[in-house]
Structure 1
C-alpha cells in the first residue's frame, strides 16, 4: 500500500471517469507512464478546453491508473457505466487517504446505520476532527476546505451515492459481484466496507 498523506488534490481532480478510462486504455496498449502523460497533453485526450486543467488533473488520474490491475482494467473499459463508476470510486479512495477516511468514517457509518441523510454538519465535524489530528489539514485555508467539501460531494454525486446534486440524501451503490469478488481477492475489502457494503 502506498504511504499516503492527507491531500486536497481532489479539488483539481474530482471524479474524472472518462479521463481515467483514457489512461487505462493507453496503459493496456503498453504505453509507458511518460508516453501516456505526453499523449494526453499533446492530443488533449481529456478534451479539456483549459490546458492548465490537464496539469492539475493528470497526476491524480495517473495515480488512480496505477491501482487498476488487469481485471479492473477489463471491467472499467468493457462493463456498464455503473461498474466503471464503482471502480473509479475505489481508485479515488485508494489514492486519497483523506477521502477514504471520509467514506469510511462518515458515509459508510451512515449507510450501516440506515441513516441516509448526509448533513453539512457531518462533513464539517469530519474536517474539524481531521484538523485536530493533522497539522497539514489544520493549515488549509477556509477556501481550500470549502472547495474540498464541494469536491467530496461531487464525487459522491457522480459515483451514484448521492440521489442528486442538490440533495444530501445518500443511496446505496449496487456493487457488481465481479468487482466485489475481485476486491476481496486482492485484500481490499476495507474499500468495499467504506462504500457501505
Structure 2
C-alpha cells in the first residue's frame, strides 16, 4: 500500500470494529473474494446490525484493512490472544488510513517517546488544525466531520488500551508482541511499530 493515500474520514463510519474485523479476516482466510465477502456480510447480516446502511458504509473499509494484512498476520488475528489481534487491527487501520497513521506517528508516538503520558484535547486540535493548513481536501471537511473523527481517534486508542477510557487523557504504552514487532519490521513496516510507540 502506497503512502500517497488521500486523507480520509472513514474512521467516522468504520472505527475500531474489532469483532467485524475478525469476522472479515475469517472470511478472507476461507478464500472468499472481496465481492463475495461484501455480499455475504450484507446478505446474511453477519455483523448483526439493525440497519444495512451501517454495514454498507463500514464494509469497504474493513475489507481494505483485512486485505492490507499478509497471510501470517491474518492467521495471528484468528489464532493468537485478543491483545495481539487488536494490535494487528491497529496496524491495519494505520496501513489504510494515512491521516490516522500521521496522528499516531506525529502525536501519540512523539508523546510516548518523551514520556509525556497525557493526550489532551488541545493536542488533537493542534494536529487537525495543522493538517487543515497543509491539505485543501481536509480543510474542506465540515466541523461536525472533524469532531466525529476526533472522537473516533480517541475510541480507537481506548480499544487498543493506549488511552484508559474515552474521557481520560492518560496514555498507556502498548505492549507489542515480539513476533508482531519482528514480522512488521521484516516486511518493511517498522514505521508502523514506531507509530504505535515502540
TM-score w.r.t. length of structure 2: 0.97
| Aligned: 1:72 with 2:73 | yes
- Give 1:33 deviation, angstroms: 1.1
Aligned to 1:89: 90
- Name the residue aligned to 2:58: 57
Aligned residue pairs total 197
CA deviations 1:167-189 (Å, max 9, x no partner) are 01110011001111110110000
Match of 2:187 in 1: 186
Aligned to 1:158: 159
1:50 Cα deviation after fit: 1.7
Alpha-carbon distance in structure 2 between the residues aligned to 1:73 and 1:140? 34
| 2:176 alignment partner in structure 1 | 175
1-structure distance, mates of 2:49, 2:81: 24
Aligned partner of 1:138 in structure 2 is: 139
Q: Which runs of no fewer than 5 residues in structure 1 stay unpaired?
A: none
Q: Distance in 1 between matches of 2:6 and 2:118?
A: 29
Give the corresponding residue for 1:20: 21
Q: What secondary structure sits across from 1:46 in the alignment? A: coil
State the 4+ residue runs in structure 1 displaced beyond 3 angstroms: none
What are the ranges of 5 or more consecutive residues in structure 2 without an aligned counterpart? none
- Normalised by the length of structure 1, the TM-score is 0.98
Structure 2 partner of 1:11 = 12
Map of 1:147 onto structure 2: 148
- Inter-partner Cα distance in structure 2 for 1:138 and 1:59: 24
